[in-house]
Amino acid sequence: MEVHCLGSGGFHDTETAHTCCFMIPDYGIIFDAGSGFFRAPPLVKTEAINIFISHGHSDHICQISHIGRLMESRICQKIRIFAQPEVLMAINVLINPPVSPFPIVCEAYSLYDGFQIELNDSIDKKPTTVSAFQVEHGKCQCFGFKVVSENHSVVYITDSHTTPQSHFLPWIKDVNMIIHDVYYTSEFEERAQLLGHTTSTGMAEVCKSINFNKKLVIMHLNPNPEYHQQILDDIKKVVQDVVLSKDNEVYTF
């Protein structure tokens, strides 16, 4: 399974990092539609594209209008969007006039805690299960996602103050790869809790609590790069196979 990082940053784009968007092209799955979403159309391989939106903040939906370009690939015949009902309403505004020059037709599905769907859209037609579970992003409802296909599994969690006490940890045990928000270093724990993000030491403690020793990809990176090395160093005390995500990188497992 190959996971493409189309946007690694959080809140604001920088010269090197667009905001959140990850794609699994062989399975027709995209997580979030931040400013990195413009990179998705050339990667389309499947007749159906399934876009899972974690929450409605602008850095996660700002480029959703690029779904029109997905259809131009001549491969994609159907687009499904999965999001909270109120986020679907916001997206509907963005993909229809007067915001969009023309209406973009897609299927819409409402997410809820424990949502699960089986997809058969991969290029090899292997059944793939995608589950959604609520994470801890302050007062904002936000979802993490788990993808399972045969012996492959990956979890995507952005914008969450995840701790060893988080109720959703059973969802992330025993997966091949975790893609997770780490926006702050440990000295900003109070701010991280208030705004619903994870610190470097918090992520290390989570991995230790679930005995995770596989691949960890850190995303929703702080636009200020001076924190990045400390984030990596703190987590490497527990997990050796950890990387800071970078735009256009591909992670294989």
253 pLDDT more than 90: no
Gap between the Cα atoms of 153 and 139, Å rounded: 29
22, 30 in Cβ contact below 8 A?
A: yes
Cα torsion 121, 174, 213, 179 to 10°: value is 40
The pLDDT of residue 139 is above 80: no
User: Mind listing the domains of the chain with CATH numbers?
Assistant: 2-246 (3.60.15.10)
Q: What is the pLDDT of residue 204?
A: 97
- Do residues 104 and 95 lie in contact, with contact meaning Cβ atoms separated by under 8 Å? yes
Helix (H) or strand (E) holding 142: none
Average pLDDT over residues 102-112: 95
Task: Provide, for the chain, the percentages of residues in helix, strand and coil under a 3-state DSSP scheme, each rounded to the nearest 5.
Answer: 25, 30, 45
The CA distance from 242 to 127, in Å, is 28
pLDDT band at 74 (very low <50, low <70, confident <90, very high): confident
- Give the per-residue pLDDT at 71: 85
Rounded to two decimals, the pTM is: 0.96
Average pLDDT, the chain: 95
Burial state string for 163-187 with b = 16 or more CB within 10 A and e = fewer than 16: beebebeebbeebebbbbbbbbbee
Q: Please state, in angstroms and rounded to a whole number, the distance separating the CA atoms of residues 57 and 92.
A: 15
| Residue pLDDT, tens place only, 165-202 | 999 999 999 999 999 999 999 899 888 888 889 999 99
Q: What is the pLDDT of residue 208?
A: 96
Closest Cα to residue 50, out of 122, 2, 104, 142?
Answer: 122
> How many C-beta atoms surround the C-beta of residue 121 within 10 A?
20
End-to-end CA distance of the chain: give it in Å, rounded: 6
Tens of pLDDT, residue by residue over 48-63, are 999 999 999 999 999 9
C-alpha closest to that of 132 among 220, 41, 29? 29
